[in-house]
Amino acid sequence: MQVSVENTTALERRLSITVPAERIETAVNKRLQQTAQKAKIAGFRPGKVPMSEIKRRFGADARQEAVGDVIQASFYEAVVEQKLNPAGSPSIEPKSLEAGKDLEYVAVFEVFPEFEVAGFDGIAIERLSAEVADSDLDNMLEILRKQNTRFEVAERAAQNEDQLNIDFVGKVDGEAFAGGSAKGTQLVLGSNRMIPGFEDGLVGAKAGEERVLSLTFPADYQNLDLAGKAAEFTVTVNSVSEPKLPELNEAFFAQFGIKETGIEGFRTEVRKNMERELRQAIKSKVKNQVMDGLLATNPIEVPKALLSNEVDRLRVQAVQQFGGNIKPDQLPAELFEEQAKRRVVLGLIVAEVVKQFDLKPDEDRVREMIQEMASAYQEPEQVVAWYYKNDQQLNEVRSVVLEEQVVDTVLQKAKVTDKAVSYEEAVKPAEAAQAD
């Protein structure tokens, strides 16, 4: 077999392959012999059909199948021989398929980029540190109470944070519009659920009262037919209910699976959860900075096949997340290309760091991570046992730990600055922190 390689771009390779005719004929004859053993043809006993008849009936199909098998096998042999690492399936261009002559074809494909990860010392990392203060814990308890607010009917005028039961009819140019009317809707004043002015216009209203609100839809309203238009809403208030926060008692604690431990026990459990969230938030922010740094210091070209595959995965995920009757391939690829490129490039870089530094998942850290996740459950021992009985879930944890080890490897040489901050700042999402 003859093989020649041409580098058409930085990643694209063009393999010209010639396979001796003898190999093709051997493969064809083998297929014909297999066919002869099981062919059922009228007038002949099984296994006794003359080869000339087998060739006449099945020769073309046998040759086509044999050529396909030989191309697949010879391509694999060629890339191994040339030490190439294809990043996707090849495009095959047949040059000569004539019976009795050597098989000639060209395979065009992309290879994985070859590079060494560098530039760790040029990556700047700000590592946050924080503690859960008693005031943070008190704030969290208030948040939990508010999340479990119940409403009781009040015989008074409506205030912000009250829940109103209302009927309303909206009109534009004197005509009701789709989605502009409802009956028995529960609305908390100050929730900003409705367009600007709607909720403010109901402050001070009492049960049984009707109010007419003259409002204007925002210019950027999602329904373009209504954007920027004046509207009139006739609203009937059916009832006014005031918020009642639950007491910090045994019944409240039981909602979170905590029984017979009192307020101090509840505070201890909540603090544990907050500390767990804090550790994860700090770790996540450091990891994101490391990954951004690796991307900036290691620009590499992305194989189109890998990018296309990742775009397809993101399309499927989007359909699964948002539902609807749309098919993944109906979503424009451009929507996902930037995210897909980041994920593919990071995947290649992380894999290369693992290879360069010969990293393997630290099994002690794997167990620690599983125990950390299990501690959020009532029966942590059962959760730990479950992970170690499920290879897929266990390997997912190993992958996460391996990524953490990659981060640690970078941090050893990166420029790391430690910064003490409050709990609130530490757990705030990166996007929100940048916006402040």
Q: Write out the E strands in 131-229.
A: 150-153, 163-172, 175-188, 210-216
Measured distance CA(114)–CA(84) in Å, rounded:
10
3-state secondary structure of 123: coil
Task: Give residue for tokens 């070209």.
Answer: 301
Q: What's the pLDDT band for 51 if we cut at 50, 70, 90?
A: confident
Rounded to an integer, the average pLDDT of 308-334 is: 89
Cα→Cα distances 309→55, 69, 406, Å? 42, 25, 25
The pLDDT assigned to 30 comes to 87
Rounded to an integer, the average pLDDT of 39-50 is: 67
Question: How many Cβ atoms from other residues are within 10 Å of residue 174's Cβ?
Answer: 6
Which CATH architecture group holds 150-244?
A: Roll (3.10)
Cα→Cα distances 335→16, 306, 308, 405, Å? 37, 16, 12, 32
Q: What is the CATH number of domain 2-110?
A: 3.30.70.1050
Q: What's the pLDDT band for 54 if we cut at 50, 70, 90?
A: low
> In angstroms, how far is CA 298 from the centroid of its own chain?
23
Q: How many residues does the chain have?
A: 436
Measured distance CA(148)–CA(251) in Å, rounded:
12
What's the token pair of residue 106?
């060209």
> In angstroms, how far is CA 85 from the centroid of its own chain?
27
> In angstroms, how far is CA 384 from the centroid of its own chain?
25
Mean pLDDT score of the chain: 91
> In angstroms, how far is CA 50 from the centroid of its own chain?
59
Measured distance CA(250)–CA(254) in Å, rounded:
6
Dihedral pair phi/psi, residue 217, rounded to 5°: -65, 140
Rounded to an integer, the average pLDDT of 379-387 is: 94
Measured distance CA(247)–CA(286) in Å, rounded:
38
**Contacts (Cβ under 8 Å, ≥6 apart) of 8:** 14, 108
Lowest mean pLDDT among 192-196, 254-258, 292-296: 254-258
Q: What's the pLDDT band for 220 if we cut at 50, 70, 90?
A: very high
The pTM of this model reads 0.77
The pLDDT assigned to 49 comes to 66
Question: Which DSSP string corresponds to 28-76?
Answer: HHHHHHHHHHH---TTS-TT---HHHHHHHHHHHHHHHHHHHHHHHHHH
Q: What's the pLDDT band for 436 if we cut at 50, 70, 90?
A: very low
The pLDDT assigned to 116 comes to 93
Rounded to an integer, the average pLDDT of 301-306 is: 92
For residue 240, the cross-strand partners are 164
Rounded to an integer, the average pLDDT of 76-88 is: 94
Measured distance CA(64)–CA(331) in Å, rounded:
37
Query: Over 80: is that where the pLDDT of 390 sits?
Result: yes
The pLDDT assigned to 47 comes to 64
Query: Over 60: is that where the pLDDT of 154 sits?
Result: yes
Which among 168-172, 261-265, 379-383 has the top mean pLDDT? Answer: 168-172
Q: Write out the E strands in 173-257.
A: 175-188, 210-216, 230-244
- Is there a shared CATH topology between the 2-110 domain and the 274-427 domain? no
The pLDDT assigned to 256 comes to 85
Task: Tell me if 425 sits within 8 A of 132, measured CB to CB.
Answer: no
Q: What's the pLDDT band for 48 if we cut at 50, 70, 90?
A: low
Rounded to an integer, the average pLDDT of 71-78 is: 95
Lowest mean pLDDT among 49-63, 246-260, 309-323: 49-63
Dihedral pair phi/psi, residue 271, rounded to 5°: -60, -40
In the chain, % of residues over pLDDT 70: 94
Q: What is the CATH number of domain 274-427?
A: 1.10.3120.10
The pLDDT assigned to 33 comes to 79
What burial class does residue 187 get, using C-beta atoms within 10 Å of its C-beta: 0-12 exposed, 13-18 middle, 19+ buried? buried
The pLDDT assigned to 97 comes to 77
Task: Tell me if 348 sits within 8 A of 299, measured CB to CB.
Answer: no
The domain spans of the chain are 2-110, 150-244, 274-427
